[in-house]
Each structure stands twice: as C-alpha cells, then as structure tokens.
Structure 1
C-alpha cells in the first residue's frame, strides 16, 4: 500500500490508533500520512470545500489550527470585493503573510492578479501545489520576508496582513506592537503601497487601542464571530477613502453567510439609562452575540432595537414584545426569583437540569450550580444577574429563537 492509498483509506480513523499500527505498513511514510489525515480531519470541520478537493496537501497541525475557517474567509472575500468597488480598482492584491493560504485563496478571487508571500519555504511549496487544485490560476507564490517584499512591491489595490501572534518562545501575543511584522512601524509603507489594507488581528486585542495606534487610518472595524465565539478582528485601513469610522459586528453561521450584522458609528449620541423595567413572566430576555459583547456597543444596541438593559453592567436586555431580528439569542422569561431559599425552592421546582450564565453577579457559574444543585444541560436557561437597584435575581427562561 502506498502512502497516498493509506491516507485515502484510513483518513477517518483515529490517528493515535493508526500511529500504534505503523509496523503493519512498512511502505507508508507514516509521519507524513498522519499529518495529512489529521489535517484532513480538521479541514472537514473548518474547510469542507478543501477537504472535498482530492490531492490537497495539508500543513503541520499548528498551521491547520490557526488558519481561517470557510465562513470567516468568505467574509473577507465579500469585504475585499466591496472595498475594491469603493476604490474603483480591482487589479491586484498581495497577501504579505500567506500562511496556509486559506484567506488568500478566497480574497484573491476578488482581483485580476494576486501574489502570495510567505517566508516559510515549506508552506510556499504546499500552497504552490494546492492553488491549481482549488482552481486559482491568477496567483503567484513568492517565498520572501514580508517587510523586505513590501519595500519592493508595486502599488496594489489591496494589501492583506495577518501578523504572527506568537513570540519567539511560542507564547501568544495580542498587543499590536508585539505581533510580527509590526504593523504600526509599517503603516506609512502600507498606505503608500495600497488603496486599502486589510489587517486580521487577534480577537483578544483591544480594538479601540488598535484604532488609536493606527493614527486615524482605520475606516472600518469588523468583529467576526462564528457559532457564538469571537474569531477575528479585521481592520480596513485607507487614506484614499475618507469616512467616519464604522464598526461591524458580524455573527456568521456555518453556511458562510451572515446570520446577523449590527453596524454602528462609535461616539454616536445613543444614551440609555439604567432600566426600571419590571421583569416578570412572559418578559422577553435578549443576550447579544459575541461580536457585540466584544465591541461593547450596548447603548447603541438598546437604542437601535428598543430594548432595555437589566442594568448598566448586565449586558442583558428586556422587552415586552419579541424582537425578531435581535443580533443574539432571545428567551422568554418563565419565572423570576431572588436568592431567598423559599423563593428558590418554589421557582426551581421540577428543574433538574439547566444552562446557567452569570452576568454582573457575585457568584461564578460553578458556585451557583453547586448552590442550586442543578445539573448542566437541558432546555432551561437560568440567567443570574443584578438589577439597577442592586437586587440579585435568577431569570428562569426558555429559548424563544
């Protein structure tokens, strides 16, 4: 059995079990085969179109875990197309930090010509092999250092950078200045060489500070979540387009389309006071998605959707009527209780399992679950929070949508 045949036949098996059986397959390059099987298994979840493409070579595990998923890569393609249209130019783009090439394989489709730049020679060989299999014939692969290449590149419609977010010891970094290459130092050259630049940054980064560090050149901030988890922070920089800064909070489905999108202008005049809303049976409870939580745009959200905050620090919202397009999850409150033992016993009667969340509450989820003696799971959702008047409440709810 050849290595390629082994990969095709055993790619759905547990790689740990396969590693133990290596002696049975003396003609198989087992380290390479296991890398490919593990890569395909990750791609089946993150990159189903790539997993379905016969002959694609996958890189080592770390590159696979760090690469974009299809929904986020598709989002970047849509963003690149929109901005190319805005600047009236879609001739060429360069990805200065190519990596495994997932983002490049998508964003390059918006341009007549595209260049992939990566200093890791192994990744360059892999991408050069994969691009034709993926139907990309407008691309050039260059093995070079991003900073050195930037100094020689011709003006582009778009430059794309995903700076490395690990230091020399392999530890994660989230500060813009700690990433490689240092985008702040490169800023003048990036603006000189592109009509717009797209930066992909850590979702842990403080986007307000990043905008400040980039000296008034950021036109859009995109906070992108998938499946309820904040995955990427994208910044679009340009001096060709002059506009107010806008923040886009996108929550994507696994089908690569935008499930919800909330857009706002930082510094707008939206002001929402602490709620005096009476929480009772049949009140609708709304929990913003991960992108909005990251953005921190709670006053703007409340003003846009006509909902009332439980309190300034709860990040939970209430309404008398359903809000069909609310960007997040919505629930119907079935019972409300204080932490009084008698009230708790009555409110929790018949509930053996529940999903518990604490927001602006003195106990952790683990501490509260232990006190309530309720197992995890089921279709009941308990939100523990503190009202504007300082009262600790449990909102016992079920999903509305």
Structure 2
C-alpha cells in the first residue's frame, strides 16, 4: 500500500464510500478499490469491533467477511468461556483455531493460552491476520495456511480446539443441519475429542441445538445461546470427555451496559410443566417477555419454575406474575388493561391511545393486520401484547414498561 493510499484512508474514513467511489477520478494515485474496502471495513469495525477500529494499521478484509465476523461482546464472551474451561481442565498451554477466518474470535480466545495457532485455508486471510496480530498485541500466535481437516490429523494434543464451520453448501444455500456444515464436525468428532481437552464449536443460531447435541453423541457438556441487542447471534457448544457432567444450557443476553446483561442457566428437563395462568381483567399483573436466547432455548418450564411466573398458555411464551420479578431474563411490563377483541371492549380499552408497540404471540392476526384493525400508529410508550389463553380466548394485554 502506497503512502498516498494510506493517507487517503485516514483522511476520508468517515465519508460515505458510495460518494467516494463516484469521485475516484479525482484521486488517480490512490488504489481506490483497496481504499474503499479499508474505509468500509473500519466503519463496520467502529460499530462491531471498537478496539480494532482504534488500532492504527489494522487491515480489514472484504465486506462479507466483516459482516460475518463476531462482534466484540460475543468474542469477549468466548474468551471468558475459554478461560473458565481452561481452569476447569487444569490446563491452559495451547489452543488451535481450525477455521480462523478474519481472526476476531482467535484474537480474543488466544489470550487465555500460553501458545495459540491460527489455521485458515484462505491465503489472503492468512496474510491479513499475520499482519494484524502483532498490532493487536498478540505475540503468542502462529499463523498456518492449511486445510482444517488435514491439519487436525497432524496437530499435537491441545488444551482447546475451536471451530466455526461454514454454514453454506456448494450452491451458497444456508445449511440447517450440523452434518451439512464444512468441515463436518460429526465426522470429525472422534479426532476432536482425541486432540483436545475441550472443543468449542461456534454454530449458527438457526441450527436446532437439541439435534446438534444428539448428533454429537453425548460429548456436549455445555450449550451457550448468546444474544446481543435482542437478537440471537451465536450458538456455542463445548465438547469434552475429560470432564464428565450433565448437560447445562446457558442463555446469555449481552449488552454494552453490564447492568442490563443477563444469564439464565438450567439443566434440560429439570422442571415439571407449570400451570397456565388464568387472566382476570380486574387484577393488576405484570407481563414478562423472555429474551431472544430464552426463546431459542425453549426452556419455558424451567424459566417459569425459576422465577415463579405463570405462562399465559403453552404456546404464547409470555409470563404473568402478581408482583414484580427482579432479574427476569427479558423485559417486564405493568399490565394496565386487558381486553378481548369485542368491539365495545376494544373501544373502551384503547381510549387515549394513538400510538403503541404491538407484538403478537400465538395470535391469529399479524402485527400489521392487528395494527390496521386497531387503527393505532407505531411507537410511543404503550406496549400491546396480543395473545391467546389456554382456553382459546384472544386477548390484548395493554402495558407499559416496568422501570
């Protein structure tokens, strides 16, 4: 990269890349395709990886790799998990990331080990990571350009192996089965267990974690479902034969503000079903909406038992309580009114409400259809939950956020 191109990137990195592309003729000495990639990469990093964005000289990969890489909160979560497991197995000497990619997860998890190896078959990514690691202060790392499966057969036993299998087939379609990812973790399972004290798998949140656990034949010790900003981002599985323990599921909801982060841990099948709540319009109650990780886990009976809340019905995934529930992993609301879909009741219940945030759970109408019927605009501080009780009655819970 020439000095002219480097200076252009520094000077214009906060500009709109589309406008810069249109002005390319003004800068004949600038490698414009490279400069635009770096400016766009920095702009994404400023949002997803602020520590990387603050580091001068870091080279960013093409747009797709930047969009698909981990964010700083999820990478930090994996570092904490790696440290906990290294302590658990009494060993923190070495780790190998077999599917290195842009190296975000590697740059974090490698900090838990005395030595770390990054493996990636894409030569361009290897060159980028080899350039970036020293700038990020990582001096315990070795970069290897190799195929993951071939390298696994030769690697010495490690404390941790890390894999993030590709989730698309040869036609570019998203895969929904663990065995369809590349490399095939199910086929590699014996070798992974032989070569590590524990293995961490990063998977798509779209995968069925129950099926993945079954496919991995009793080797999974922990399932971590990680959400950021209300969206489920990652599914992490920790495999080990060194540690014998019953399966635990961790539902983590991360936030930039630590006081709003939450973690719910449970053992699958540990709780009996909780009876549905019988809503009464005359009672003031609280309604609770689980976070995205809880929704993905499907641990509604365990949640109800742990927090003493009652489900509206088996398929509504909304919970009620007579009193506030501190620390509930999700959002809590004060129910101000409850109404059926009867026109007269609706008219009375909606008096003074011109705007509201509407959510439908186990309800015959979509949000758009219900909003049209209610003639209410989007927004404001009122929240309407449209749901169906265990008795089949369609109700609207008109609420406001608790605290």
TM-score (norm 1): 0.98
How many residue pairs were aligned?
401
Match of 2:237 in 1: 235
User: How far off its partner does 1:270 sit?
Assistant: 2.8
In the aligned structure 2, how far is the partner of 1:338 from the partner of 1:277? 11
Asked if the contact 2:314–2:390 (Cα under 8 Å) also holds between the matched residues in 1, the reply is yes
Asked if the contact 1:112–1:138 (Cα under 8 Å) also holds between the matched residues in 2, the reply is yes
**Secondary structure at 1:90 match in 2:** coil
**Pair 93,256 (structure 1): closer, same or farther in 2 beyond 3 Å:** farther
In the aligned structure 2, how far is the partner of 1:157 from the partner of 1:256? 30
Asked if the contact 2:227–2:293 (Cα under 8 Å) also holds between the matched residues in 1, the reply is yes
User: How far off its partner does 1:271 sit?
Assistant: 2.2
**Pair 167,255 (structure 1): closer, same or farther in 2 beyond 3 Å:** farther
Asked if the contact 2:122–2:145 (Cα under 8 Å) also holds between the matched residues in 1, the reply is yes
Asked if the contact 2:281–2:339 (Cα under 8 Å) also holds between the matched residues in 1, the reply is no
**Secondary structure at 1:153 match in 2:** coil
Greater alpha carbon shift after TM alignment, 168-177 vs 253-262: 253-262
2:372 to 361, 370, 373: 370
Q: How does 1:31-42 map to 2 (within 5 A)?
A: 31-42=33-44
**Pair 362,210 (structure 1): closer, same or farther in 2 beyond 3 Å:** same
In the aligned structure 1, how far is the partner of 2:140 from the partner of 2:281? 58
Cα deviation code 1:326-352 (max 9, x no counterpart)? 000000011111111111111111211
User: How far off its partner does 1:389 sit?
Assistant: 1.3
Asked if the contact 1:115–1:142 (Cα under 8 Å) also holds between the matched residues in 2, the reply is yes
Match of 1:129 in 2: 131
Structure 1 residue runs without a partner (length 5+): none
User: How far off its partner does 1:305 sit?
Assistant: 0.2
**Secondary structure at 1:322 match in 2:** coil
User: How far off its partner does 1:267 sit?
Assistant: 1.8
**Secondary structure at 1:128 match in 2:** helix
Q: How does 1:111-260 map to 2 (within 5 A)?
A: 111-255=113-257, 259-260=261-262
User: How far off its partner does 1:269 sit?
Assistant: 3.3
Asked if the contact 1:286–1:328 (Cα under 8 Å) also holds between the matched residues in 2, the reply is yes
**Pair 207,119 (structure 1): closer, same or farther in 2 beyond 3 Å:** same
User: How far off its partner does 1:362 sit?
Assistant: 0.5
Cα deviation code 1:25-48 (max 9, x no counterpart)? 101100001101111111011001
CA RMSD of aligned residues (A): 1.2
**Secondary structure at 1:346 match in 2:** helix
1:78 to 64, 74, 80: 80
Asked if the contact 2:276–2:314 (Cα under 8 Å) also holds between the matched residues in 1, the reply is yes
Asked if the contact 2:281–2:337 (Cα under 8 Å) also holds between the matched residues in 1, the reply is no
User: How far off its partner does 1:174 sit?
Assistant: 2.5
Structure 2 residue runs without a partner (length 5+): none
Greater alpha carbon shift after TM alignment, 346-355 vs 149-158: 346-355
In the aligned structure 2, how far is the partner of 1:46 from the partner of 1:181? 26
**Pair 393,258 (structure 1): closer, same or farther in 2 beyond 3 Å:** closer
User: How far off its partner does 1:173 sit?
Assistant: 1.6
Cα deviation code 1:38-86 (max 9, x no counterpart)? 1111101100110111110000011001100000000000000000000
Cα deviation code 1:179-203 (max 9, x no counterpart)? 1000000000000000000000000
In the aligned structure 2, how far is the partner of 1:236 from the partner of 1:324? 30
User: How far off its partner does 1:170 sit?
Assistant: 2.0
In the aligned structure 2, how far is the partner of 1:6 from the partner of 1:133? 21
Asked if the contact 1:222–1:235 (Cα under 8 Å) also holds between the matched residues in 2, the reply is yes
**Secondary structure at 1:2 match in 2:** helix
Greater alpha carbon shift after TM alignment, 249-258 vs 176-185: 249-258
User: How far off its partner does 1:374 sit?
Assistant: 1.0
**Secondary structure at 1:166 match in 2:** coil
**Pair 286,136 (structure 1): closer, same or farther in 2 beyond 3 Å:** same
**Secondary structure at 2:51 match in 1:** helix
Asked if the contact 1:335–1:395 (Cα under 8 Å) also holds between the matched residues in 2, the reply is yes
Asked if the contact 1:277–1:308 (Cα under 8 Å) also holds between the matched residues in 2, the reply is no
Cα deviation code 1:241-269 (max 9, x no counterpart)? 00000000000002578810000001213
Match of 1:329 in 2: 331
User: How far off its partner does 1:275 sit?
Assistant: 1.9
In the aligned structure 1, how far is the partner of 2:97 from the partner of 2:103? 9
In the aligned structure 1, how far is the partner of 2:245 from the partner of 2:10? 51
